[in-house]
């Protein structure tokens, strides 16, 4: 699905469609409809696309954008304010996810063929591993930033 089709689907699938979503974006329904359809020179801006994604909770625009650019998006929940004081929990989660990927890989290839369900399961496990790695990296960055002497710029 391309970005335009994804945007159209997200807006159309929102309860009440453009008429309901537009006011939440500070726009008129016809303006939003024209931007989504690219009518009369109107174009939907990147900020509006981001706001639509946040308001609807529908990530199809983001997914289409990353796919068109040759990337894959991975949902990574924000690290809780009450993150563990040490990284053991993060490392343990990462190792568990790696084990799940290896298990899924072995099961998928056991008969030399990969079914759609096996592929989907493997991709889901791989995404969870990547998210665990990213959360661990984020934890290390937070600890690093908090380890700098007072007065030193935290970057």
pLDDT along the chain (155 residues), means of 10: 94 96 96 92 94 96 92 71 70 95 97 94 91 88 82 62
Q: d(Cα 105, Cα 154) in Å, to the nearest integer?
A: 40
Residue 153 domain-assigned?
no
Q: Are both 7 and 63 inside the same structural domain? A: yes
Q: What is the reported pLDDT for 147?
A: 85
Residue 45 domain-assigned?
yes
Residue 115 domain-assigned?
yes
Q: Are both 58 and 25 inside the same structural domain? A: yes
Q: What is the reported pLDDT for 40?
A: 87
Q: What is the reported pLDDT for 15?
A: 97
Q: What is the reported pLDDT for 87?
A: 85
Q: Are both 138 and 101 inside the same structural domain? A: yes
Q: Are both 106 and 50 inside the same structural domain? A: no
CATH of the domain at 105: 1.10.287
Q: What is the reported pLDDT for 13?
A: 97
Q: What is the reported pLDDT for 39?
A: 87
Q: d(Cα 12, Cα 20) in Å, to the nearest integer?
A: 10
Q: Are both 94 and 132 inside the same structural domain? A: yes
Q: What is the reported pLDDT for 57?
A: 94
Residue range(s) defining the domain that contains residue 133: 88-147
How many structural domains comprise the chain? 2
Residue 78 domain-assigned?
no
Q: Which positions ≥6 away from 148 have C-beta within 8 Å?
A: 154
- CB 76: neighbour CB atoms within 10 A? 15
Q: Are both 107 and 63 inside the same structural domain? A: no
Q: What is the reported pLDDT for 32?
A: 96
């Amino acid at each position: 699905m391309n970005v335009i089709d994804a945007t159209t689907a997200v807006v159309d699938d929102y309860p009440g469609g453009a008429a309901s979503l537009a006011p939440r974006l500070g726009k008129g329904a016809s303006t939003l409809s024209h931007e989504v359809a690219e009518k009369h020179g109107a174009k939907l801006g990147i900020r509006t696309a981001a706001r639509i994604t946040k308001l609807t909770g529908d990530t199809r625009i983001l997914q289409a954008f990353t796919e068109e650019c040759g990337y894959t998006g991975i949902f990574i929940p924000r690290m809780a304010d009450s993150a563990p004081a040490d990284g053991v929990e993060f490392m343990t989660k990462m190792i568990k996810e790696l084990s799940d990927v290896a298990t899924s890989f072995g099961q998928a290839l056991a008969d030399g063929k990969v079914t759609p369900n096996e592929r989907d399961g493997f991709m889901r496990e791989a995404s969870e591993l990547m998210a665990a790695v990213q959360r661990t990296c984020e934890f290390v960055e937070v600890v690093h930033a908090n380890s700098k002497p007072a007065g030193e710029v935290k970057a």
